[in-house]
Copies of this chain bind each other. A is one copy, B any other.
Amino acid sequence: VPKDGYHHGDLRRALLDAAVVAIDESGPAALSLRDLARRAGVSHAAPAHHFTDKAGLLTALAAEGFDLLAAALTTARAETGSFRELGVAYVRFALDHRAHFEVMFHPELYRPDDPEVVAARERSGAVLYTGVEDLPGVAADPGAVREAGLAAWSMAHGFATLWLSGALPDLGRSPEAAARMVLGELGGA
Contacts and interface: CB of A to CB of B under 8 A. Distances in A.
Interface stretch (A2-10, A34-42, A178-186): A178-186
A86 interface: no
Residue from A156, A158, A162 having most chain B Cβ neighbours under 10 A: A158
A188 interface: yes
A74 to B, nearest CB: 20
Nearest to A162: B157
Nearest to A178: B150
B105 A148 contact: no
Given A29-B30, A152-B185, A157-B162, 14 more contacts: A27-B29, A27-B106, A105-B161, A112-B166, A150-B171, A150-B182, A151-B183, A151-B185, A151-B186, A154-B155, A154-B156, A154-B162, A161-B161, A185-B187
30 contacts: A27-B106, A29-B29, A29-B30, A105-B165, A106-B165, A107-B165, A107-B166, A107-B167, A147-B182, A147-B185, A150-B168, A150-B178, A150-B182, A151-B155, A151-B183, A151-B186, A152-B185, A153-B158, A154-B155, A154-B158, A154-B162, A155-B155, A156-B158, A157-B162, A158-B158, A158-B159, A158-B161, A185-B186, A185-B187, A186-B187
